[in-house]
Amino acid sequence: MVKVKQKSNSTFAVLDAGTSKIAAIIAETNKNGDLIVIGDAIQESSGLRGGEINNLEAFSTAIGNTVQMAEEKAGITVQEVNLVCNAGQPKIQIARSNIDLSDAKISKRDLRRIVSKQNDIKTEDHRCVIRRDHFQYILDEQSQVQNPLGMFAQKLSSDTLLLTMRSTSLANMKQVLLQNHLNPGHIHHGASMSGFACLSEEEMDLGALVLDIGGGTSSVALFMEGNVIYTHTMPIGGIQITRDIATVLSISAEEAERLKVFEGTVFMPETAETKSKTLISGIPSKGDNFIFSGNFSETDTIKLSNSEQIERHLLNSIIKTRLEEILEKLMEKLVQANMQHAAGNRVILVGGSAKLTGISEFVSAIWGKNARLGVPNHIDGLANRENIDPLSSAIGMAKFIQSNPKNESIQDQTKILPFGKFGKIGNWLINNI
């Protein structure tokens, strides 16, 4: 039974619904404008496969238990939650609206007309808009206009980024919340929200690619000048790596997960240079998220629970094969969207599988970019939690809500910024998409 205390108007809840885990935080903004977490919880997920609901009852129970645990820590009950998920194949599309001007001088009425037209933009069949970001005006052929009010033109255009997802997936997610007497608030993409938690202001401004390899899905979110300009999600993740290990080695999924976490490593593709180094030293003794007490070789053996022994090389090959597939498929999507070079060379790794030993070096070698592990930026109220990485997406959503307090909820979720900065993003998108 939650002992209810007075709830501040600035208090809100965030729920990150993943295939392998569900995370919830309850946060509030203090008088100084600082964000403080007053309740948090992480529970094993159930009822999801590849980010999509496949057992409504099991998923609803898992959601209810997680939210209740966070409420008990916070000492309050919540009626609304903001949702982070990868369901519904979330993607961003660019839409342009145009109006002819009866008066050459642009007025506030003209701006209201173009905003109204933006809100009437139709999406693909069976998809719905969960977020709108207006990022530039165009006057005749002049792009990158921040504030057209009072300027002269014959035609006024406006470009909008639309984040959409499948309507049925959204309806199912909302149904689960309603079954737990929770009203749906904002909804957003998991990798995008992890970016808000883990990227520096400079990385968000200059451009960065967030690679989120979770349990049931793998996603990318491309940031440029503080905006998410591209997303893609596919239903392959760390769970598939675990199943590959279990299948090839004929062991249980539980043991396969243990081997992946504690014994598995990934290596850079072998070249003449790396081959000579490997022959000398075996597995590197130091990397992005590990330090070994001594050097190991791929010919080392690992003892299984059934007393059989395998070479470390076999385990690593299983992991590497699936990971290469994930990276290749995501890069194919980036190339198809002409986004492979948009964020320069920055890649930030998040998600449970980002803990694989040596993964930063592996991604850097496969993609030819500088990769690093993403760590959530500081937020008050989580000092007692040893590892806050599983809360990355929830923390990012909390920071996103704090910086966008006037956004509408999921029922009419839009963000119209007629005079916000956009700089190079508008020009780059128009010239490359």
* pLDDT tens per residue, range 115-150: 888 888 888 889 999 888 877 899 988 888 888 999
Angle at 262 between CA 286 and CA 299, to 5 degrees: 70
Q: Yes or no: say if 180 and 12 are a contact pair by the CB < 8 Å rule.
A: no
CA distance 65 to 51: 19
For position 161, what pLDDT does the model report? 87
Residues β-bridged to residue 157: 98, 138
Distances (CA, A) of 319 to 77, 245, 360: 42, 7, 14
Asked whether 159 and 95 are in contact (CB, 8 A), the reply is yes
More confident residue, 233 or 403: 233
**List of domains in the chain:** 91-166+415-432 (3.30.1490.110), 238-370 (3.30.420.40)
Dihedral angle computed from the Cα positions of residues 316, 322, 323 and 327, in that order, rounded to the nearest 10 degrees: 150
Taking the C-alpha atoms of residue 16 and residue 393, their distance in angstroms, rounded to an integer, is: 6
Instruction: State mean pLDDT over 389-417.
Output: 70
Regarding pTM above 0.85, the answer is no
Distances 332 to 103, 136, 146, 318 between C-alpha atoms, Å:
46, 28, 33, 22
Band the pLDDT of 10: cuts 50, 70, 90.
confident
Q: Distance of alpha carbon 189 from its chain centroid, rounded?
A: 5
